[in-house]
Structure 1
Amino acid sequence: MGQLIDGKWDDRWYDTKASGGKFVRSTAGFRNWITADGSAGPSGTDGFKAESGRYHLYVSYACPWAHRTLIFRAIKGLSEHITLSVVHPDMLSDGWTFATDLPGTTGDTLFGLQFLRDIYLRADPQISGRVTVPILWDKQRNTIVSNESSEIIRMLNSAFDGITGNHDDYWPAPLRDQIEQMNTRIYDTINNGVYKAGFATSQSAYDDAVGPLFDSLDWLEAHLSSNRYLLGDTLTEADWRLFTTLIRFDPVYHLHFKCNRRRIIDYPNLWGFTRELYQHPGVAETTEMNHIVRHYHYSHDTINPNRIIPINPVLDYAKPHGRS
């Protein structure tokens, strides 16, 4: 994953030498919010009113952070209101590209550009930072609203309800403190934990990440033995944030990132939970396993220099989950 420095492309991987072999994720740079009336959100500026057809989402099917936004676009009935571009899963010396030689890719359906970095440069020709997905683009103001997935899903959760009539709430006020607590542990030890293990370049950095990862998976397995979802009987954003890691775990993280103490299929409750969320209306269509498997094994030459794509286990996500 390269970066832009003062508007110039720099094909440079994360520097783990400065952090003792540990992978440290960079932060998102665009933090505006779409709101129902266009007023300012928790960060950024005002002027981003929820309107049908005004916004465009750039994603990778391979990326778990982008997958969150695809799920919310689907389950909140926003597919007809927010247009979409899907990058190619191979992330090589030019970063994410709009190549279209693989099923599921779309090219840049908005501008016809070649690279995802061109979208960032369109927003700011002198920008510095990592070129990441997802990107939520405003066609009216010709700029990026946000490239922070955790905030994009909260916008999609409620800002467009008056347009779609879909008032399903995955960020309900009475549960917000509990959701935040759940998100904090899951993000640190699981969502980002698999990356900290997989991208570690020292034994100690790997050990520091992989232990808490499986401690949290063991904890969730016990928790889900008496709870249908993470917050009891209420399906929330915490579940969807966990799901995008779980769905990638056995096909990718177990082997490629050396997270191999156990698989999700070895956890009866987590495996049933994963299948239930996959079978939620609209979610299977957001899950493109060919992109997921190819991206990780083909793009990370520091881990898989010969770019050999494994045959992978056969997993039946459509099998009855038994969690009703």
Structure 2
Amino acid sequence: MSNETLTPSTLRPSYVEPGKDFDRDTNYIEDRIALDGRDGWPVEPGRYRLVAARACPWANRTAIVRRLLGLERVISLGMPGPTHDKNSWTFDLDPNGVDPVLGIERIQQAYFARFPDYPRGITVPALVDVPSGKVVTNNYPQITLDFETEWADYHRPGAPDLYPVALRAEIDEVANLIFHDVNNGVYKCGFAGSQKSYERAYGTLFSRLDWLEERLTNQRYLVGDTITEADIRLFTTLARFDAVYHGHFKCNRNKLSEMPVLWAYARDLFQTPGFGDTIDFEQIKKHYYVTHSDINPTGIVPAGPDASGWLTAHGREALGGRPFGDGTPPEAPLESERVPAL
């Protein structure tokens, strides 16, 4: 992506367009950090910083993969606060509101350092080149795949294979269905601009959740007998379902906790090192209920639901499976990256 392809534009101030379906802009900065440095960004320990807000489900994926593979040693983590304005996410959780590595107040500054007047959404996750302060990519589906493949030389001993070659076609197929119908499906409900578009998205979402309920009845994980990229992509939506999507996005046919198989599956992953230890329910709720002022103009953040249920027994071990395959669980999170205990 080059400067010549971009023109100045203002960022969209609202998430809902009356009378229209929600249409996510999936045009991302497609540069990749690769072993061969094909786009000018070679794999290099310590060079890049992952900016990934706790609140964001797309960013949450990258934080989980980074943890599971042990990439904390080679890719640092910057964490914006849970809320943002129409311009970008800010580092309001850091001292003086400045990211301690990048020295910026907003992730927007990293985008503009590379593309002045960047015209699209200033999104997380984003990988930033620390020496130049320029954003490299915000292409979140590719970021995790590259963590799993291009960064393999820097995986921790015992890191799981989250994208096994023999299962990639099935992982990609399942992940694609989940993206359109579940990950993005909840947003299609919440940001629907008409009753008709909402009801269409609602039907698609719950049909897919029913399909997942059936698929996971007799197998512990989505593809194969170990945790893969597909499970990570589904988990971050399930983790936010009862806290946000059920009420805020009107995805209220039932709660996740009322779908016995999916609820047990989600708890199984939550209790697996690398998953629940990246989840901060208070930040998640504050992000959605405060930031989406067009659908929650009061800005009131719900006190519930009680999150302690995530720690209850799930019984999924009876289905067999090996969470990390031939690998091992990750070590405890870095002290600076720990989330509040439930």
TM-score past 0.5 threshold: yes
1:34: which partner in 2? 33
Residue identity over aligned pairs, in percent, reads 39
Summarize the Cα distance change of 1:14–1:311 in structure 2 as closer, same or farther, 3 Å threshold: closer
Could you tell me which of 131, 136, 154 is aligned with 1:145?
Answer: 136
Q: Please list every run of 5 or more consecutive structure 2 residues that lacks an aligned counterpart in the other structure.
A: 1-5, 318-342
CA contact (8 A) 2:67 2:274 kept: yes
Distance 1:101 1:298, change over 3 A: farther
| RMSD value, Cα | 2.1
* Number of residue pairs the alignment of both structures matches: 310
What's the offset of the Cα at 1:141? 5.3
Which amino acid counterpart does residue 74 of structure 1 have in structure 2?
R
The answer to whether the Cα contact below 8 Å between 1:197 and 1:258 also exists between their aligned partners in 2 is yes
What is the alpha-carbon distance in structure 2 between the residues aligned to residue 93 and residue 173 of structure 1?
40
Equivalent residue, structure 2, for 1:74: 67
Q: Taking structure 1 as reference, are residues 163 and 79 closer, same or farther at Cα in structure 2, changes over 3 Å only?
A: same
What corresponds to 2:17 in structure 1?
A: 16
The residue identity in structure 1 corresponding to 2:202 is V
Give the TM-score taking structure 1 as reference length: 0.89
* Alpha-carbon distance between aligned partners in 1 of 2:162 and 2:179, rounded to the nearest angstrom: 17
| Residue of structure 2 in register with 1:225 after alignment | 217
Q: Distance in 2 between matches of 1:266 and 1:303?
A: 25
Output the CA distance in 1 between the equivalents of 2:67 and 2:27.
23
TM-score, reference length from structure 2:
0.85
What is the Cα deviation at residue 21 of structure 1?
A: 1.9
Distance 1:107 1:291, change over 3 A: farther
Measured in 2, the distance between the counterparts of 1:111 and 1:33 equals 20
Alignment of 1:1-324 (within 5 A): 6=7, 10=11, 12-14=13-15, 16-17=17-18, 20-35=19-34, 37-40=35-38, 45=39, 47-100=40-93, 107-140=98-131, 142-166=133-157, 167-315=159-307, 316-324=309-317
- Stretch of structure 1 that moved more, 176-185 or 290-299: 176-185
Q: Deviations over 1:50-98 (max 9, x none)?
A: 2221110111111100000000111010112111111111123443222
Answer yes or no: is the 8 Å Cα contact 2:265–2:314 preserved in 1.
Answer: yes
Segments of 5+ residues of structure 1 without an aligned counterpart are none
Please report how far the alpha carbon of residue 7 of structure 1 lies from its aligned counterpart in structure 2 after TM superposition. Answer: 5.1
Shift of the alpha carbon at 1:13? 2.2
Match of 1:309, as an amino acid? V
**SS of 2:76's equivalent?**
strand
CA shift for structure 1 position 251: 0.4
